[in-house]
Amino acid sequence: MGANINISEREKIKLEHQAAKLFMRWFEHETGNPIRHLWHNRPNKPDVSCRFEDDRLDLEVAHLYGSEQEAMQILGRELSDVTRNELQALDNNTEPDKRLLTALNRILLNKSVKRYKTKRVWLVIRNTHPAWMKEQIQALQHRITIPPTHPFEQIWIVGDWDGKSGIVQLFP
């Protein structure tokens, strides 16, 4: 990573690589198919690329948060009193499964309109919320809305921040 990349961009790249590595490890474990050699792409391409089935495979990486405020909290950023109050209200008044479904559907909709100059691209979503795990995602799978048109050959979710609970395939 060059000196001209700011701290926020470095953090984003680091998180994308972590998510891709967790996904690749679980994908190999569950399928027995090797997926290797992660590298970062810039700009206007999927976030990272790797080798799969003797060909290039591009991975677009997204992180699943319940809200922007939760993202700041999970990432360890300083929170204002107003934000703390919003998080408390959200935690008290919103059913966690509904927040999960809303956040996941929002990511899928936003990513569905992107276009890439590549033969193969998969979407890998890393769940960051500590209250949600692979089991909650699987339980809501029949209610997840995958837009009818999108550029992804496959869509996957890493079930938790550390990748301990495995991965879930959403599409196909």
User: What is the Cα–Cα distance from 70 to 86, expressed in whole angstroms?
Assistant: 10
CA 47, 119, 22, 68 dihedral sign is positive
Q: In this structure, what token pair is assigned to residue 37? A: 């050699």
CA distances from 6 to 3, 23, 41, 104 (A): 8, 26, 16, 28
At 4-63, the pLDDT tens digits run 567 767 887 888 899 999 999 999 999 999 998 878 777 668 889 999 988 999 999 998
Asked if 134 contacts 166 with a C-beta cutoff of 8 angstroms, the reply is yes
At 57-103, the pLDDT tens digits run 999 999 887 666 666 666 665 555 654 555 555 455 467 677 788 88
Asked if 53 contacts 33 with a C-beta cutoff of 8 angstroms, the reply is yes
Q: In this structure, what token pair is assigned to residue 41? A: 């792409």
pTM of the model as a whole: 0.83
